[in-house]
Each structure stands twice: as C-alpha cells, then as structure tokens.
Amino acid sequence: MQKAILRDLLVLLGVFGLIWMLFSLFSYPEDPQLLSIQKEEVLGEAYVDLILLNPLFREYENSMVDSAVGVIGERLLEGLPDTEYSYHFEVFDSEMINAFTVPGGNILISTGLIGFCDTPEELAAVIAHEMGHVEERHVISRLIKELGIEILSSGDPYVIGEISSLLTSTSFDRRQEEEADSFAAELLEATSIEPRTLASFFRKLEKEMDNELLNQFAFISTHPNFYSRIRDALLYVPGDEFTTRSIDLNWEEIRAGL
C-alpha cells in the first residue's frame, strides 16, 4: 500500500508540474526581436518629429549647446563601438528637468536638465543611463508589450501621434531602471568618466525635491526608488586601472548661454 501511495504522489506531482512547465513556455514571448532595429529607427524618426512639434517640447536651437551635447555624446559612443544604433541627441526647450528616450536611438534632453547639471560629467551620466534604455531596448519592448506589434507597425499618422505622446511619459519598471543604471556605470567607466557620478546627480535631484514644486520634476515622477538607486550607483567600484579624463568643455559658459 505504501508503494501505491508513493506512486500516486509522484503521478500527481508529475501531472501538475507538467502543466506548469507547459504553460510557462507557451506564454507570450517577451523579446522585442520582432521589430528590427531599422524599423525602430524609422519609427523613431517619426516620433521625434512629432514630439518636437509639441509646444512643451520645442526644439532648442543653440549651436553651442548642440555641439556640447554632441561632444558628450561622442565621448560616450567611444565606449560603444559595436552599437547597432545611430544615436541622435536633441535638445528641447523646457524648464523641466527631463530626459527621455525615443525608439531608434533618439535621446531628448531638456534645457532644464542641462542647466541643472554642474559638470558635463553629470550630463554624461544621465545620457549614459538613457543610452542604457536604448541598448537594452526597454522602450520598444514596453511599447510592444502594452500596445502590441500590430499597432506599433501601423504607419497611421494618428496612431503615431498618440504613441509619441505616450513616449514623453513612459516610465520603466524597477528591473529596467536597474539595468540602465548598471549599463551607465559600465559605460562611464569605459570612457574614463567617474561611474558614480549618477549617484551625485540623483542626490542633487532628491535634495531639490524638498525645495521645489513637484511638477518641475517630471524626471523624478518617472524615476522612482531614488535611495536604492543612489546606493547601488555608489556601490559600483571602478577597476584598478581606471583613471578619469575630464570632458573638455567650458561648462559655465554653456550654462550661461541657456
């Protein structure tokens, strides 16, 4: 009888274990490999154009700022020789301290954010973080998960307009933020910038939060879990051979010009 009992138990466990495994594997696939990077870049261009038409995100035309951002961008790209994306950095005129990623390697940065950074290294840290979202394809995977691949591939201008509005308020989940943070730390180290600069930036933001109105800080509302991320950023220790090489920019002049 005891053997029969044991056999029954194994059958029971086996059947339900099988059900679990079977349905786990047949769940919807998560990887966004369904959309090619070329397609992503085409879509991204359309989104950026529409976003910049929005009065809240007017393109900021200033050659000094543009070239400064370009310098930082190029410095960071030194650490990403194998990237499949061709990055575009756009500056938009807004007091809000904000930066966000649009599919296709497009990173939008507000003048408010540039003004808030005391050094070009801080801005580099933020941009590196956004590049993390690009390289790990967080935005596109989120869009596919929430909207589905059909809506995303549609060329309908109304749909594209709606999606572009969504992009300015996309927030990532905790795992994606952590991935972007650690990507940024590694990229900063690879390009000889102090990797823990991101922590200083968050700390400044957090301090300002006590003083200013919350709606200035769209960045904060889409980037929760401040303290744990500051802690994790500070825990990153660069390798033994790490040295810093500062970014060659007259930052005060650039900020004054805003």
Partner 1 sequence: MMDYHPLPQPDQIETRIKEDAMGAYFMMFATMAMGIPLPILNLVAAIIYYYVNRDKGKFVQFHTLQSLYSQIPVTLLNSGLVAWTIVNLVKDLDFTGFYWGYLVMVAAANLVYFVFSLVGAIRARKGLFYYFLFFGKLAYYQVYRIRPEGGQSVMRNKPPGP
Smallest distance, partner 1 to C-beta of residue 30, A: 7
Q: b vs e for 3-25, b when ≥16 Cβ sit within 10 Å of the residue's Cβ?
A: eeeeeeeeeeeeeeeeeeeeeee
Binding pattern for the stretch 56-95 against partner 1, x by CB under 8 A and - elsewhere: ----------------------------------------
Which range touches partner 1 (CB under 8 A), out of 18-26, 38-46, 50-58, 124-132? 18-26
- Report the residue number, 174 or 231, with the smaller CB distance to partner 1: 174
- Report the residue number, 26 or 158, with the smaller CB distance to partner 1: 26
Query: Does residue 235 interact with partner 1 by CB under 8 A?
Result: no
- Indicate which single residue of 14, 16, 49, 153 sits in contact with partner 1 (rule: CB under 8 A): 16
Nearest to 115 by CA among 130, 96, 89, 128: 96
Query: Does residue 31 interact with partner 1 by CB under 8 A?
Result: no
Query: Does residue 30 interact with partner 1 by CB under 8 A?
Result: yes
136 vs 183: CA distance, rounded Å: 9
- Report the residue number, 24 or 243, with the smaller CB distance to partner 1: 24
Residue 250 is encoded by which pair of tokens? 């007259």
Footprint (CB under 8 A) of partner 1, residues 159-198: 173-175
Binding site for partner 1 (CB under 8 A): 1-2, 4-5, 8-9, 11-12, 16, 19-28, 30, 173-175, 224
